[in-house]
Structure formats: C-alpha cells, structure tokens
C-alpha cells in the first residue's frame, strides 16, 4: 500500500479503482464490490452514496480507517466479518456476524422461503419451529420476523455461536418469541406437544477432506466445527433425521428441511425415504444446484 500512503489526497473514484486492482491481483472475487463496501463502512455512509461522491477528495484522516480495513481484506478476512453485519432474507433483517458462527448465505434463504410456505397461512394459531445449528440465528429470526404467530427455538452445540444468536435476538427485539438453547442436535430440546410445526437445519455438510480446498475466506476464517460434516459430509444429517423420528419431534405433516452441499441431494432424499418421511423433495439455489431437501412426517407415523 506504499503508493496509497504517499499521495496526500485521493478522490473516491481513484481510491476505489486502486483498491479494486489490489484485490483483483490477489484473486479476491468481486473486488470492486468489496472495495465499495469497505470504503462506505470507513466513511460511515451507505454504499450507494459513493456513486454520487466519485469526485469527493479524501485526505489522510478520511483514509486512515479505510487503510486498516483493506489490510484485513488482503488477509482474506471476509467483508461481513470486517463490517460486523450481514443482511439476510428480509431487507431489514440485519444480523451481527463474527467468527463465532458462519456468515449467513443467500443459499439458506431458499430454506427459509420453503419453511414459510410450509406453515399454515395467516391468520393461524401459535406455531412452533426449531432451527438446528442456528449459528447467528438467521433462520429462526427470519421466520419469526416474517410470521408473528411463530415461536422459534434456536439451538447450537457451540456456546459461542449461541451467544451471538442471542445478541441478534435482542438486537431485533424478538426475545419474546425466539429462545436460544445449547444442544447437540435435539439432545437438550424440549419438544412441544404434539411436536414442532417445522424443523430447519443448516448443519455442517462439507466432507472433511474438502475443507482445506475451500476459499481462504472460509477455511481460514469461518469456524471449522460449523463446516466439517464428516467423511461424506452427512454425519450430522443422519443423526438429526434419526433423532427427529425417534423423538416424534414433528407434528403430522410437519416438514424437516435440510440445507445440503453439492451432489448430496439424492443421498439425503434416500435417507428421508428410509426414515419414513413422505413428500420428499429437493429445491435448487440461484445457481440451479439442489440445495435444500425436505420431507414431511406422515400423518400415521
């Protein structure tokens, strides 16, 4: 960053161009977008505001904080961790994020959409949903914010992740409808009578051997325990399916929704069929990759 340090004044456009080129040289995806996010964060403005300030001159004071953010990004720290927040699902669902949990991703929004579709339409009596492996609390909070008739239980085996989820619950003012529980899958969960209306899970699903081949933003910065799904990536998925059946954790017709990795859909569909689930289906993400598999508890189960 020697050149950037030598010059006394830069315009917003010049600084964005210079930073984007440094990011591109390192192979960082979407370098311009990242540069804009970081500069807006440093200046305390919205990213869109930069577009009408391209000719604004920035002196050393303006650039001091930005320089540190750029150093962090050059070390491949994710932008969401640098900013400390990530928008999820609804435009106003702004979640605090840090290294205690995975960064919420657009793929998980497909799971939320399907879960919302599966619930009884409003007006409806009180419904209960369970978010297993909640991390930042994204799924539970998105559903509770979308449907006032929903009470959500958010569980994670990581106490640190649960602290982050609880912070987001309080940040969004949903303490009366979202509860956080430390639990290894369903072990410490109290199942309501006659069961949860829906259970959602974004569990670790990356095969262990694939972890070190992931982009640095993931395998260096995000918690390994939230990524490592065992030899084939499905260790926790199998355990959860068994637990849901053994504890009769769903109401008749209630759906279990599972986010999965690339190439896992057929195997997970088979696991659900073998466990007695009906209406087993898959849905694809924006890249047309099967990303969510779901099955319903049969009425006679």
Question: Is residue 67 a contact partner of residue 15, using CB atoms and an 8 Å limit?
Answer: no
Antiparallel, parallel or unpaired: β 150-156 and 127-132: parallel
Rounded CA separation 3/22 (Å) = 11
Between helix 106-118 and helix 138-146 the angle, nearest 10°, is 40
The answer to whether the annotation marks 168 as part of a ligand binding site is no
**Neighbouring-strand partners of residue 255:** 198, 296
Question: Is residue 178 a contact partner of residue 140, using CB atoms and an 8 Å limit?
Answer: yes
Among 172, 162, 185, residue whose Cα is nearest residue 141 = 172
The answer to whether the annotation marks 279 as part of a ligand binding site is no
The answer to whether the annotation marks 134 as part of a ligand binding site is yes
The answer to whether the annotation marks 136 as part of a ligand binding site is yes
The answer to whether the annotation marks 135 as part of a ligand binding site is yes
**Per the annotation, where are the binding residues for S-adenosyl-L-methionine?**
133-137, 156, 202
**Per the annotation, where are the binding residues?**
133-137, 156, 202
């Amino acid at each position: 960053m020697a050149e950037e340090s030598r010059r006394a004044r830069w315009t917003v456009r010049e600084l964005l161009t210079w930073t984007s080129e440094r990011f591109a040289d390192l192979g960082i995806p979407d370098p311009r977008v990242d540069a804009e996010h970081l500069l807006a964060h440093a200046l305390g403005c919205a990213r869109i505001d930069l577009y009408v300030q391209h000719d604004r001159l920035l002196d050393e004071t303006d650039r001091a904080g930005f320089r540190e953010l750029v150093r962090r990004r050059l070390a491949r720290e994710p932008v969401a961790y640098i900013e400390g927040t990530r928008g999820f699902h609804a435009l106003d669902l702004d979640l605090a994020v840090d290294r205690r949990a995975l960064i919420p991703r657009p793929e998980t929004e497909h799971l939320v959409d399907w879960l919302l579709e599966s619930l009884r339409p409003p007006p409806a009596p009180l419904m209960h949903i369970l978010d297993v492996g909640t991390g930042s609390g994204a799924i539970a909070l998105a559903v509770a914010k979308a449907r006032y008739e929903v009470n959500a239980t958010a569980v994670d085996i990581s106490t640190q992740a649960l602290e982050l989820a609880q912070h987001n619950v309080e940040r969004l003012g949903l303490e009366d409808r979202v509860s956080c529980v430390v639990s290894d899958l369903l072990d410490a969960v109290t199942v309501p009578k006659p069961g949860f209306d829906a259970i959602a899970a974004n569990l670790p699903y990356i095969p262990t051997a694939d972890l070190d081949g992931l982009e640095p933003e993931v395998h260096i910065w995000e918690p390994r325990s939230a990524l490592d799904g065992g030899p084939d990536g499905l260790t926790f998925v199998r355990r959860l399916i068994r637990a849901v059946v053994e504890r009769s954790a769903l109401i008749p017709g209630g759906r279990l929704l599972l986010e999965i990795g690339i190439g896992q859909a057929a195997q997970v569909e088979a696991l659900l069929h073998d466990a007695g689930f009906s209406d087993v289906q898959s849905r694809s993400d924006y890249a047309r990759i099967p990303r969510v598999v779901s099955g319903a508890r049969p009425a006679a189960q």
